Amino acid sequence: MTFSVAVIQFTGLPGRERENRERSVRLIEDAAADGARVIVLPELAISGYTLNQDDLSAAAEPCDGPTLSAWTEAARRLGVVIAGGFCESDGGRLYNSALLVGPDGLLLHYRKLHLFDGEKVIFTPGDRGLAVASTPFGRIGLCVCYDLRFVEVMRVLALQGAELIVVPTAWVCGFDKVERDGDGLIGQARGAVVQANLNQVYVACASQSGTAGDIAFLGSSLVADPYGRILAGPLAQDIEVTLVAPMDPAIAQAALVRTERVKPREDRRTDVYGVTAGGQTL
């Protein structure tokens, strides 16, 4: 079953969460009209990516708040799966969270495990672990931005059976010490492409772009296949665009066996090393 995945690159504006939410639904509708069945929005798409605690506190909402309602209604009406980030409030704490929503409702509720730079002052580290959901469009895993720097994250999701890993991001300027390469890739995006190949999964990253307050973003949204081929993107840092690329879960399955004697999953030395998730060694 071949279908299309979309990554939506745009700037969520701090202090305008209602406008951002309404805009996200319009962009989801546009992507669905272009044929996308899985649609990915950026990190903190609804609150906007900011390190202003007052703005984030004002924009924060529970998991079952207006964003889940809006995205669930859109997913049901359009027959799509939606992933994106929002600022979550729970028990007086703020979380950098993301949702995966399908036509039948909530599929995954994720809290970013690895907080980046100034996020550590504002957010509480994620406590919901890593998980993969079965969807009408294959098995999908979810993580957020800086999580990609920790290779165990994508490896765990792959070993849990993910065929596609969706990554809401807000790649920011000032930390990547290497210029874009000949393919236009920044370091973070290059890492996502490499890990797609190493873990035999599709990867779809949707980043913030432009500027919001005093934070500038690198864009670089992209889709890569399980062989590390870039199917769409990377986008420039100052544009708001939706990319649509094809995905076929059968290719993800075929990538597990590169040749008769090269089978990356089977060749792992689990007698020497392993990764643990949820108390289980994978």
Give pLDDT tens digits for 148-180: 999 999 999 999 999 999 999 999 988 776 678
- pTM, two decimals, is 0.96
Q: What is the mean pLDDT of residues 248-265?
A: 87
Which candidate, 71, 78, 81, 44, places its Cα nearest to that of 59?
44
pLDDT band, very low/low/confident/very high, at 282 (cuts 50, 70, 90):
confident
The residue range of the domain holding 56 is 3-281
Instruction: Give percent of the chain with pLDDT exceeding 70.
Output: 99
Question: How many structural domains compose the chain?
Answer: 1
Task: Report H helices in the chain.
Answer: 17-33, 53-59, 66-78, 119-122, 151-159, 187-199, 249-254
> In which residue are the tokens 């993800």 written?
252
- Specify the pLDDT at position 277: 84
* pLDDT mean across residues, the chain: 95
HSE-CB of 64 using CA atoms within 13 angstroms: 1
pLDDT band, very low/low/confident/very high, at 185 (cuts 50, 70, 90):
confident
Q: What is the mean pLDDT of residues 40-56?
A: 97
Name residue 6's amino acid: A
Torsion, CA 174, CA 124, CA 73, CA 70, rounded to 10: -70
Strand, helix or coil for residue 115: coil
d(CA 100, CA 82): 6
CATH code assigned at 176: 3.60.110.10
Q: What is the mean pLDDT of residues 1-20?
A: 96
Q: At what angle do helices 151-159 and 187-199 cross, to 10 degrees?
A: 30
C-alpha distance from residue 50 to each of 127, 169, 203, 210, 215 (Å): 22, 13, 25, 13, 7
How many C-beta neighbours within 10 Å does residue 259 have? 6
C-alpha distance from residue 266 to each of 101, 163, 242, 261 (Å): 32, 17, 37, 10
C-alpha distance from residue 67 to each of 62, 73, 251, 260, 261 (Å): 9, 10, 33, 47, 47
Instruction: Give percent of the chain with pLDDT exceeding 90.
Output: 83
